[in-house]
Amino acid sequence: MRILITAGPTREYVDDVRYLSNASSGRMGYAIAEAAVAAGHEVVLVSGPVSLPRPARCEFRSVQSSQEMLDACLEEFPNCDGAIAVAAVCDYRPKERVTGKMSKTGQPLVVEFVETPDVLAELGRRKAHRWCVGFALEAQNARESALRKLRNKSCNAIVLNRTDAIGADVNNVEVINESGETAATWSGPKAEIARRLVDWIAGNAWVKG
């Protein structure tokens, strides 16, 4: 298979030096890319800014903003069999980006934010004969939120994990299938979870066609 994988955070700049982002390390997405390559699949990795070495033997697209990630994914997805969306995409961006560097004024700063493009939802909308697996990092009402994402974003499965996964070498995930049932639960090093997830995806009917 040829698999599109997204990883890492995105950045939304307020001015030329300050940005809105999150603490995603990219480790889970990179581990999945490495596991997929090891399993014999072709991988296109679209990555936000991280401090990890590029996985070997995969195509690599470096992006910064949510829009850049979406553009890269829409360019690559038609030539892929499916997508695994692991990236922690910023939900909001400043409505206006200031040119240069803002200076302190001694007064409160008000910044208006607007929603960014939803990368996973757009891939789900366009998947046609392809498949999409998403990740849901949730804190409150975790399973309910993951189920809502599964349905609203037209995923074939959703991988639920919690905020303690951010920046960690280990993870604790629940894989939820199209019917909303728990298909698997795994705990341990991200590399091991990545291997299990790649094997699980490859064994599904919606992948085999």
Q: Which residues are catalytic?
A: 22
Q: How far apart are CA 113 and CA 133, in angstroms?
A: 28
Would you say how long the chain is, in residues?
209
Specify the residue for token string 């959703």: 158
Which H or E element spans position 47? Answer: strand 42-47
SS3 for 134?
Answer: strand
Question: Assign residue 193 a region: left if phi > 0, alpha if psi is -120 to 50, beta otherwise?
Answer: alpha
Distance of CA 34 to the CA centre of its chain: 15
Cα distances from 119 to residues 38, 152, 165, 183, 205, in angstroms, run 26, 13, 21, 24, 24
